[in-house]
Amino acid sequence: MPEGDTVYRSAEHLNAALAGTVLTRCDIRVPAFATVDLTGERVDNVVSRGKHLLMRIGAYTLHSHLKMEGAWHVYRRGSSWFRPAFLARAILANDAVEAVGFELGLFEVIERDREDEAVGYLGPDLLGADWDPPLAFANIRREPAREIGLALLDQRNLAGLGNVYRAELCFLRGVLPTRPVGEVRELEKMIELAWRLINANKDRPQRVTTGNLLRDRLWVYGRAGQPCRRCGTTIERGELGDTDLQLRATAWCPSCQR
């Protein structure tokens, strides 16, 4: 599942390829918007907002979310794609490149001046100009009985974190993901660490939380059953979610985290 850093990089990449150019092809394969044709319109910019992508084209914004398997690829025109064409949901091209959105979890075309209706509910963006640590803190603290592992993933509190950062932040701060928010000591430091980690990773393809760029890049995420890198205790795995439908796996060290 892409996290905010991946989406930020996608936006940078798309912006470099499309901003300031005129679309020569616009092929939207999401049924509700299949008749929308922005050919001839100028792309103003592409930005990320938490884990959402906003492509601003003429009077419209193409709003997408990658969810589990989604990705935007940029190809030189005429080169072959890395994913099968039947998975493409949107194709935008200018004279030089083709941007293809594959398996987008969410895709909609909205009027640009109504972007707020699509993403206005998001909390401060860890990778955005609006980043506001005291607001993120206040948002999380509003529900003191909620598990910290759920509060960190709630994009209304702060935008950009996914499963990987959730697990790694809880490990680095020595807190079980099931610990109620009200019992997390120095929550400000956890928020500050979230900002530092995601910003350190925003320009590199490999996500690192251990400081080791070459190997052993993560502390606990994806390591259930293996020994903790700090104390050797076996990493445990469990599921956390507000509802049964939203359960997502997380991992922790039962010795290092309390």
Which residues of this protein are in contact with Zn ion, per CB under 5 A?
228, 230-231, 233, 253, 255-256
- Main-chain phi, psi angles of 68, to 5 degrees: -80, -55
Query: Minimum distance between the CB of residue 173 and Zn ion, rounded to whole angstroms?
Result: 13
Whichever of 230 and 237 has its CB closer to Zn ion, that residue is: 230
Q: Is 192 a catalytic residue?
A: no
Query: Minimum distance between the CB of residue 209 and Zn ion, rounded to whole angstroms?
Result: 14
The residue sitting closest to Zn ion, measured at its beta carbon, is 228
Whichever of 148 and 256 has its CB closer to Zn ion, that residue is: 256
Whichever of 85 and 231 has its CB closer to Zn ion, that residue is: 231
Query: Minimum distance between the CB of residue 234 and Zn ion, rounded to whole angstroms?
Result: 9
Q: Is 248 a catalytic residue?
A: yes
Whichever of 182 and 254 has its CB closer to Zn ion, that residue is: 254
Catalytic pick among 51, 56, 173, 202: 51
Q: Is 51 a catalytic residue?
A: yes
Query: Minimum distance between the CB of residue 226 and Zn ion, rounded to whole angstroms?
Result: 11
Distance between CA 219 and CA 208 in Å, rounded? 9
Catalytic pick among 2, 147, 173, 223: 2
Catalytic pick among 42, 217, 230, 248: 248
Q: Kindly list the distances between the CA atom of residue 189 and the CA atoms of 102, 183, 185, 195, in Å, as whole numbers in the listed order.
A: 37, 14, 9, 10
Q: Is 2 a catalytic residue?
A: yes
Active site residues: 2-3, 51, 248
